[in-house]
């Protein structure tokens, strides 16, 4: 949902043409985004216990391909799992370099991201803050992204073993339907948690997830860059006969269960 925008066009009534030309050709671009979703889903799992989330961020990009950004959302999973006694926000900070291969439709994106969780941890609980590096390739409406954890994966340890080195592979599609502003969206993800549990039991933390949906981007007018969308998502995360498992929180809510999500977002 993070999107870099072109600099705003200057009004034709501006009385200083030289300044207008300088700003219009500036290599710097700033943008912002604000969104609301009925359920914050990250890699197939709910971060809000199935409840809504308000989200937003800011981005800076340079014509060279360098970019920096920050984004935040309300969350509840750290309290729901009993890890933190006070935590209600995820704050992401990221930066990288992206561009196209020559004048082709093939693109690349490499960078680093930090997921930060301000709040108070319960005694003996490790910080959920996580750092990842990532690399992505794209072609028109298709994308492939690989993320690699440099730290324990959101504070997790399995059998007292570190989970740094956990990776996530993300296949994505965003297919535009003509000039209608409608796009068909799809995704398939593979999470491989390092030092995972028994692959045949509910102690296994790794899983695959997928989603399919539709997005409408308003092409012009006062609501230009407003996005409305909906999607269905699910995972194959394991649970035992009693209904418990790695992704079932302390309240008994299965964060990895299927969900239907609607959202609205606006870029500025």
213 is a domain residue: yes
Distance of CA 261 to the CA centre of its chain: 15
Does residue 124 belong to any structural domain of this protein?
Answer: yes
Query: Has residue 214 been placed in a domain?
Result: yes
Residue 198 exposed, middle or buried by CB count within 10 Å (0-12, 13-18, 19+): exposed
pLDDT of residue 9: 35
What confidence score (pLDDT) does residue 8 get?
31
In a domain, 4, yes or no: no
**Does residue 190 sit within a domain?**
yes
Range of the domain at 83: 30-267
Does 96 fall in a domain? yes
The reply to whether 144 falls in a domain is: yes
- Nearest-CA neighbor of 183 among 229, 137, 232? 229
Give me the number of domains the chain comprises. 1
- Asked if 268 and 31 count as a contact pair (C-beta separation under 8 A), the reply is yes
pLDDT score of 257: 96
Q: For the domain that residue 248 is a member of, what is the CATH number?
A: 2.40.160.40
Residue 85 lies in a domain: yes
Q: Give me the tens of pLDDT residue by residue for the chain, a chain 268 residues long.
A: 444 333 333 333 334 444 444 456 899 999 999 999 999 999 999 999 999 999 999 999 999 999 999 999 999 999 999 999 999 999 999 999 999 999 999 999 999 999 999 999 999 899 999 999 999 999 999 999 999 999 999 999 888 899 999 999 999 999 999 989 999 999 999 999 998 865 555 568 999 999 999 999 998 888 888 999 999 999 999 877 566 788 999 999 999 999 999 999 999 9
The per-residue pLDDT for 39 is 98
Predicted confidence at residue 25, as pLDDT, reads 84
């Amino acid at each position: 949902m993070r999107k870099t925008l072109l600099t705003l066009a200057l009004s034709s009534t501006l009385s200083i043409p030289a300044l207008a030309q300088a700003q219009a050709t500036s290599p710097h671009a700033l943008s912002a985004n604000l969104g609301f979703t009925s359920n914050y889903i990250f890699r197939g799992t709910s971060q809000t216990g199935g409840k809504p989330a308000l989200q937003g961020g800011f981005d800076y990009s340079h014509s060279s391909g360098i970019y920096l950004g920050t984004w935040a959302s309300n969350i509840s999973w750290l309290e729901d799992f009993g890890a933190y006694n006070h935590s209600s926000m995820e704050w992401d900070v990221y930066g990288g370099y992206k561009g196209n291969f020559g004048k082709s439709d093939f693109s690349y994106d490499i960078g680093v991201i930090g997921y930060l969780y301000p709040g108070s941890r319960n005694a003996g609980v490790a910080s959920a803050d996580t750092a990842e590096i990532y690399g992505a390739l794209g072609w028109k409406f298709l994308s492939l992204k690989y993320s690699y954890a440099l730290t324990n994966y959101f504070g997790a340890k399995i059998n007292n073993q570190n989970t740094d080195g956990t990776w996530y592979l993300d296949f994505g599609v965003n297919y535009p339907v003509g000039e209608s502003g409608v796009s068909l969206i799809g995704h398939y993800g593979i999470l491989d948690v390092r030092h995972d549990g028994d692959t045949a039991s509910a102690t296994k933390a790794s899983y695959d997830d997928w989603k399919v949906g539709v997005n409408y981007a308003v092409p012009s007018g006062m609501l230009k860059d407003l996005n409305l969308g909906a999607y269905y998502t699910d995972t194959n995360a394991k649970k035992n006969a009693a209904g418990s498992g790695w992704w079932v929180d302390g309240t008994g809510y299965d964060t990895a269960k299927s969900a239907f999500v609607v959202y609205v977002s606006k870029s500025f």
